[in-house]
Amino acid sequence: MNFLIGFFIAAVVGLTGIGGGSFTVPALMLVVGLTAGEAVGTAFLFAGAMRLIAAPFYLLAKQIHSRYLYLLLLGAVPGLLVGTWGLRLLNRDAGNPLVTVILGIFLAASSSITFVRRVQNRGFARKNHYWLPWLALPIGVESGFSSAGAGALGTVLLLNYSEMTPSQVVGTDLLFGLVLAVIGGAFHWTFGSINSPVLIELLVGGVPGVIAGCLLARRVPANKLRTAVAMVAIFAGLQLLWTGTRALAARHTAKAVRVTMQVDTGNARR
């Protein structure tokens, strides 16, 4: 199962540049059964490795814009550190359902951005591109907390705040996600929130998947594929939200029962 998950997600990353964290985290939590911290950390390293393989295809095609990449990273990297710290703080209690709920909200919200109407106005982009670092800051926060967002949200920013062509946007955003994945993965590695056996199985399936995706990128209609990817990611996010909410309710009920039992025991002793 992990081989298939790795192949499918990697193929989507190679084709569209998005879907790494949005797919991997829900799959690792809902299918594999990892905790939120392990799922995010493992997803970071997996997404980084897949983007590392895909990046040369876009570099050789000269579809990377270094200035806009720098502007994105200028705001996103500090946000990434904040998001990573926030996840570690909330996830000290392994399996904390509150983290699952927040992850579900983040994943569903970021994936929904795909359906926002995008209008690329080159005049507007030239005058307002210096807003990119500030707008990239919350993307970094979300990426640090959930390993998702760099793909869909980064694409929206670049389409509306740069004069790049769509192919340049995909390449630049892919490299943007790669840098965030490397930094975030390094932090999670030091925290020990990486499941190495699962990561290896994902990589075994992912390497041929991302190569196949990059080779097919020019033959498959990327817009339709992005829409399908976003719909599945939204569903996965909502599923995490539902699972986390049920777990929170169950925890609250169990706590109420314990309090009632303690009160009854105290009254009995009196």
Identity of the highest mean pLDDT range in 34-43, 87-96, 148-157? 34-43
Residues constituting the chain = 270
pLDDT (average), residues 91-114:
68
For residue 32, the one-letter residue type is V
Q: What is the mean pLDDT of the chain?
A: 76
**Which pLDDT belongs to residue 228?**
66
Residue 102 has pLDDT above 60, yes or no: yes
CB 120 within 8 A of CB 165: no
Higher pLDDT, 19 or 34: 34
Residue 93 has pLDDT above 70, yes or no: no
Structure tokens at 197: 């056996």
Residue 263 has pLDDT above 60, yes or no: no
**Which pLDDT belongs to residue 180?**
86
Q: Which helix (H) or strand (E) holds 28?
A: none
Structure tokens at 56: 């040369």
Residue 128 has a CB neighbour count (10 Å cut-off) of 14
Residue 241 has pLDDT above 80, yes or no: no
Percentage of the chain surpassing pLDDT 70?
71
pLDDT band of 270, cuts 50, 70, 90: low
Residue 118 has pLDDT above 60, yes or no: no
**Which pLDDT belongs to residue 78?**
92
Q: Is 249 exposed, middle or buried (0-12, 13-18, 19+ CB in 10 A)?
A: exposed
Handedness of CA 58, 172, 209, 192 (dihedral sign): positive
**Which pLDDT belongs to residue 35?**
80
Residue 266 has pLDDT above 70, yes or no: no
Give CA–CA dist 21/47, Å, rounded.
Answer: 7
Give CA–CA dist 171/162, Å, rounded.
Answer: 13
Q: What is the pTM of this model?
A: 0.71
CB 209 within 8 A of CB 46: no
For residue 135, the one-letter residue type is L
pLDDT band of 114, cuts 50, 70, 90: low
Higher pLDDT, 235 or 185: 185
Higher pLDDT, 65 or 126: 65
The residue extents of the domains of the chain are 2-269
Residue 32 has pLDDT above 80, yes or no: yes
Higher pLDDT, 262 or 66: 66
Q: Is 42 exposed, middle or buried (0-12, 13-18, 19+ CB in 10 A)?
A: buried
**Which pLDDT belongs to residue 125?**
61
**What is the number of H-type helices and E-type strands within the chain?**
11, 0
DSSP calls for 95-161? T-HHHHHHHHHHHHHHHHGGGS-----HHHHHHHGGGHHHHHHHHHHHHHHHS-SHHHHHHHHHHHH
Residue 63 has pLDDT above 70, yes or no: yes
pLDDT in tens, 144-196: 777 766 666 777 777 767 777 767 777 888 888 888 888 888 887 877 778 88
Residue 6 has pLDDT above 60, yes or no: yes
Residue 127 has a CB neighbour count (10 Å cut-off) of 11
